[in-house]
Amino acid sequence: MRKKLVVGNWKMNMTRAQAKAAVESLVQLVDPKTEVEVAICPPFLSIESVVTVFSGTPFQVGAQDVFWMPSGAFTGCVSTSMLADAGCELCIVGHSETRGRFGKLEVPATTVAYFAESDETVNLKIKALLAQSIRPILCVGETLEERNEGRTDEVIAAQLKGAFVGITAADYKAGVVAYEPVWAIGTGKTCDNAEANRVCGFIREQLRAILDASTADSIRILYGGSVKPSNAKDLFAQPEIDGGLVGGASLDPKDFSEVIQGA
Ligand code: PEP
């Protein structure tokens, strides 16, 4: 049986002091013997603060993004070895926001090209992370327009195919995939339980074909998109949903602990 995994994505929130206070509360609220695997992905600058508080606990720390080159003239970028050195065990890749696909647009539409991650860069990042033994959390999902056009499965299949070019089943054994419908991220709209379960099952089918059946059966497939204490339990009870990638509700330690409880 796959162990549930709940990951908090703090996005661009929390100073170092706020991060420290939030995870100090979280470790008080969540039983370290919980059956659920728990991780937080803070902004780069707060990673060290969270790693320090989580030291000696089973809780893990991840990053929200990475650059694929090992070092060099790449202003503003962070490498996989820097993440490993800071204590990161996981890293989100291909989040809809880094792909420039927003459920709720808070920047002018003309600047969206700044967030221009493609399936090709996602693939390069996954390869770089695996070489550093950092577990990728690959995000895939459709926009509202793509859903309304009946293209959900086609879009997700293409994202998976692009992400896994040159990656074998053995490479991705410890990796994670998250189904994150773009229209449900930060919008308060949650995907219906049955549909979220169906799409996660569809992702597993694709992974069977791209990797192999036993690896696909062991990979955790998370649901993300407005997960909160009131809906976590029902979403996580779906057979194909192995936990959640949680944005807004992970910022409040009490809410996040209740989401973990739901798993
Ligand atoms: C996310 O950032 O991956 C996410 C799912 O955000 P939220 O829970 O706020 O919708």
Q: Mean pLDDT lowest for which of 84-88, 146-150, 167-171, 185-189?
A: 185-189
Burial class of residue 155 (count of CB atoms within 10 Å of its CB; 0-12, 13-18, 19+): middle
pLDDT score for 190: 87
Structural domain includes residue 19: no
* Residues 216-252 pLDDT 10s: 999 999 999 999 999 999 999 999 999 999 999 999 9
Structural domain includes residue 22: no
- 255 closest CA partner among 87, 32, 10: 10
Quick check: is 258 catalytic? no
Q: Is the distance from CB of 224 to CB of 177 less than 8 angstroms?
A: no
Q: Which atom of ligand 1 is nearest to the CA of 188?
A: 10
DSSP codes, 117-173: --HHHHHHHHHHHHHTTPEEEEEE---HHHHHTT-HHHHHHHHHHHHTTT--TTTTT
Burial class of residue 203 (count of CB atoms within 10 Å of its CB; 0-12, 13-18, 19+): buried
Range of the domain at 71: 5-10+35-43+61-252
- What's the number of domains the chain is made of? 1
**Mean pLDDT of the region 188-194:** 93
Q: How far is the CA of 226 from the centre of ligand 1 (A)?
A: 6
Find the CATH number of the domain harbouring 198.
3.20.20.70
pLDDT score for 255: 98
pTM of the model: 0.97
Structural domain includes residue 82: yes
Quick check: is 154 catalytic? no
> What mean pLDDT is reported for the chain?
97
Q: How confident is the model at residue 80 (pLDDT cuts 50, 70, 90)?
A: very high
Structural domain includes residue 15: no
Q: How far is the CA of 250 from the centre of ligand 1 (A)?
A: 9
Structural domain includes residue 25: no
Report which protein residue has its CA nearest ligand 1's atom 8: 247
